[in-house]
Structure 1
Amino acid sequence: MAFAPVIQVNDYISYMDNWFKNYKGIIFLIGGIIIGSIAGLFLGDKVNVIKPIGDIFLNLLFTAVVPLVFFAISSAIAGLDGSNKLGKLLGVTSLVFVGTVLVAAMITIIAIWIFPIHQHLVASPITETVDKKPFGDQLTKLFTVSEFYELLSRKSMMSMIIFSVLIGFATLKSGEKGAGFAKFLHSGNEVFKNIFILIMELGPIGLGAYFAYQVGVFGPQLFGGYARSMALYYGVGAFYFVVIFSLYAFIAGGVTAVKRYWKNNIIPSATAVGTCSSIATIPANLDAAKKMGISDMIANVTIPLGGTLHKDGSSISSIVKMAVVFALFGKSFNSVETVMIALAITILVSLVEGGIPNGGYIGELLFISAYGFPPEALPPAMIIGTLVDPMATLLNATGDTVAAMLVSRFFEGRKWMSQVQQKEK
């Protein structure tokens, strides 16, 4: 018994070490932002001298993003097992994933219309604007380019993603003859993932310098705008977590499914917040899915796929980031064209970011490029993404089990929960 306090202290130290390891990236980024903010408050316009540090960081990100996304997408598709087609299950899973991501995005858009962010943000003096062209021309330019070299520009991110998908499927279809190229894609993916990790090591310095510049130019009122956007995100996130997840469970299996979901969602929720990782939450989700009555076949397909492809929390944060950037640059976020493109980008972000370290930043680069914003639009989006990460992870991870419930409903029939209860008796 004399050793019990020592064991408890060691367990606490181990817990704190793991907690710091999981959150150190966020801690360092926030630390850099805070230091930069203080410097901006005291130095004012003099902070212009350190702005190049932030610009260098942004340029490194923009340089790495195109090959990173290309290798991530094409290698993922090339690595699929073409002989193991689950057909209907994969189709239902895909529809559920896309549907819930769109619901999250549309709820957020409605919330932004009700609680407009632009009333509290100071517009940027930068005058670069998006060209006003017919909607059809915008779509053509968004999804295609006329020359191959244009795919190498960050301004053609959507086109490059589509081309990456085609490359991935072409490699998969080539079979053994394309094995060497598939290996090249996988190797390139690993290399550029590590390049991105190395660049993000400079994040606290780069974002700190840029935030110092923003505070020095715009003043303390900048904090009010970020605080309101944060409040909006966490408000929508909490509503989605409690109300919409309960609604999904009810649609899947009635009141019984709702009770089962929340009874078994505690451990996955704690794991998601504690690790700040959807991937790390997969084991807890698989165990919870079994207790919720989800079959092993559905859980073993839906949960791992959801860990990388299903991001309700990221969908919400994507819309909030877009609204903030639009407001900072004095643009309206209300037009039909803008909203439709935002929804398309949100789906792509959900699919792309899961397999990439700091994948949310890729989403930010994507929508900034798609809408034609200058590089100066990236730091505000990155800052918001960093601050909302815990709630986003919670929604991303715990949304996978309720999505698996919906898949069970549409794959096994509306009486699937009753059948589960009968088996348990």
Structure 2
Amino acid sequence: MNSWFKNYKGIILLITGIIIGSIAGAVLGNKVEVIKPIGDIFLNLLFTAVVPLVFFAIASAIAGLDGSQKLGRLLGITSLVFVGTVLVAAIVTIVAIWIFPIHQHLVASPITEAITKKPFGDQLTSLFTTSEFYQLLSRKSMLAMIIFAVITGFAILNAGEKGKPFAAFIHSGNEVFKNIFVLIMKMGPVGLGAYFAYQVGVFGPQLFGGYARSMAVYYSVGAFYYLVIFSLYAVIAGGVGAFKRYWRNNIIPSATAVGTCSSIATIPANMDAAKKMGISDAIANITIPLGGTLHKEGSSISSIVKMAVVFALFGKSFDNPQTIIVALAMTVLVSLVEGGIPNGGYIGELLFISAYGFPPEALPPAIIIGTLVDPMATLLNATGDTVAGMLVARFAEGKNWAARSIPITNEP
């Protein structure tokens, strides 16, 4: 019990703070406006920390590569499988939202800050680049900063011995800003509690109706993806035999993921399961550890749901092609970025809010949704790594990989 509480302590405290704040807002009404600055301070600290945090995390990860980790055929196939499955998860969710529209049950937020409209070409240019270095320090230029961080990481690699002092600085900065983010998130229960007290007190409790419906959509899509899409992947990878092996050996990783609420903590269980599923050590040793940080199908689904809710709260359409293309790109980016960062899901929310030009007030609704879906998201993130490993084995070793990997005596 103590271990379970330790794993879910952050979520429990966050939800408790939000509930207490919401009750205070319902009881006190407009009087809670006095505590609004507390919520604003919390949001400002988050937005201040996110730019250097993401920069150091990405640059450090790339600068830490060695010769054995550089892209080869196997790593290339793994990357394609990871990106492909994340996109499938996003597309399935978009279709589900079109069938069961969240926006029909949400009242547009009284926050009326306009989102600047630009031609699509100008939007892409400003999304991926800036004309001045200092503009990279703004959260409104997050994608441009990420591209610059990637370039910086590879530049450190190319510099060799001469780049090692700067690499040490980048690695040190990564550790420092991860801890800064952890410290800021300790204010989460109080900061978000104050925010929701203000929202409920001033605008009314009807704001929460849409959250319940968005949760229903998320958990329905998540259950469908876990049972149906993962099964489909296993069949594609190795037929009915691979399907049976996947589900026979997926119970322990699933329980571990839900019990720990951590994809990283599930890696040992996934490694053991991968061996029993017939995935070779050469593939498992790459796909499972990388998947723990870079492969996030559950996060992909939650990203789309959060985007749909935020768009609805701001009275914006989430069904035009430009918006969908950016949303798909954001889900892949979020999957890659959030894994190595504590509370990485919040980084994903900061990224898409910045990319679409929403004001800071769009963050708390996205955070509460991300918090409520975390157990299912972790389940999908973690258990999707082994079936992804099966797909990598199929494309790297041929259609008979399973027969070569598993002795006949182990077949059902």
TM-score, reference length from structure 1: 0.95
How far off its partner does 1:399 sit?
0.2
Tell me what 2:343 maps to: 358
Q: Select which of 377, 396, 401 maps to 1:411.
A: 396
Alpha-carbon distance between aligned partners in 2 of 1:159 and 1:309, rounded to the nearest angstrom: 20
Alpha-carbon distance between aligned partners in 2 of 1:83 and 1:276, rounded to the nearest angstrom: 31
- Matched to 1:326, the amino acid is F
1:116 corresponds to 2:104: no
Q: Percent identity?
A: 82
Q: Cα RMSD over matched residues?
A: 1.0
Tell me what 1:191 maps to: 176
Alpha-carbon distance between aligned partners in 1 of 2:73 and 2:100, rounded to the nearest angstrom: 40
Q: Select which of 6, 23, 29 maps to 1:38.
A: 23
Matches within 5 A, 1:20-169: 20-85=5-70, 87-169=72-154
Tell me what 2:200 maps to: 215
> Per-residue displacement from partner, 1:223-272 (whole Å, max 9, x unpaired)?
21100001100000000000000000000001111100000000000000
How far off its partner does 1:141 sit?
0.5
Alpha-carbon distance between aligned partners in 2 of 1:269 and 1:82, rounded to the nearest angstrom: 33
Structure 2, unaligned runs of 5 or more: none
Alpha-carbon distance between aligned partners in 1 of 2:239 and 2:179, rounded to the nearest angstrom: 45
Q: Select which of 250, 269, 278 maps to 1:265.
A: 250
> Per-residue displacement from partner, 1:9-49 (whole Å, max 9, x unpaired)?
xxxxxxx1111111000000000011011001111122111
> Per-residue displacement from partner, 1:172-209 (whole Å, max 9, x unpaired)?
11111100000000000000000000000000000000
Tell me what 1:276 maps to: 261
Matches within 5 A, 1:226-245: 226-245=211-230
1:327 corresponds to 2:337: no
How far off its partner does 1:219 sit?
1.6
How far off its partner does 1:86 sit?
5.5
- Matched to 2:252, the amino acid is I
3-state SS in 2 of match to 1:414: coil
Alpha-carbon distance between aligned partners in 1 of 2:23 and 2:275, rounded to the nearest angstrom: 50
Alpha-carbon distance between aligned partners in 2 of 1:284 and 1:196, rounded to the nearest angstrom: 28
The answer on whether the counterparts of 1:68 and 1:193 sit within 8 Å (CA) in structure 2 is yes
The answer on whether the counterparts of 1:96 and 1:407 sit within 8 Å (CA) in structure 2 is yes
1:177 corresponds to 2:162: yes
The answer on whether the counterparts of 1:104 and 1:316 sit within 8 Å (CA) in structure 2 is yes
How far off its partner does 1:423 sit?
6.4
Go from structure 1 to structure 2 and tell me whether the alpha carbon gap of 1:76 and 1:273 turns closer, same or farther (over 3 Å shift).
Answer: same
- Matched to 1:166, the amino acid is I
Moved more, 249-258 or 41-50: 41-50
Tell me what 1:400 maps to: 385
3-state SS in 1 of match to 2:339: helix
Alpha-carbon distance between aligned partners in 2 of 1:28 and 1:413, rounded to the nearest angstrom: 48
3-state SS in 2 of match to 1:333: coil
How far off its partner does 1:218 sit?
2.6
Alpha-carbon distance between aligned partners in 1 of 2:330 and 2:81, rounded to the nearest angstrom: 17
The answer on whether the counterparts of 1:122 and 1:218 sit within 8 Å (CA) in structure 2 is no
3-state SS in 1 of match to 2:67: coil
> Per-residue displacement from partner, 1:365-390 (whole Å, max 9, x unpaired)?
00000000000000000000001000
How far off its partner does 1:419 sit?
2.1
- Matched to 1:248, the amino acid is Y
How far off its partner does 1:422 sit?
4.9
3-state SS in 1 of match to 2:56: helix
Alpha-carbon distance between aligned partners in 2 of 1:403 and 1:169, rounded to the nearest angstrom: 27
- Matched to 2:348, the amino acid is G
Alpha-carbon distance between aligned partners in 2 of 1:250 and 1:381, rounded to the nearest angstrom: 35
Q: Select which of 272, 275, 298 maps to 1:290.
A: 275
Alpha-carbon distance between aligned partners in 2 of 1:213 and 1:226, rounded to the nearest angstrom: 17
TM-score, reference length from structure 2: 0.98
Alpha-carbon distance between aligned partners in 1 of 2:80 and 2:71, rounded to the nearest angstrom: 14
Tell me what 1:310 maps to: 295
Tell me what 1:9 maps to: none
Alpha-carbon distance between aligned partners in 2 of 1:413 and 1:191, rounded to the nearest angstrom: 44
Moved more, 60-69 or 38-47: 38-47
Alpha-carbon distance between aligned partners in 1 of 2:395 and 2:134, rounded to the nearest angstrom: 44
Q: Select which of 354, 358, 363 maps to 1:369.
A: 354
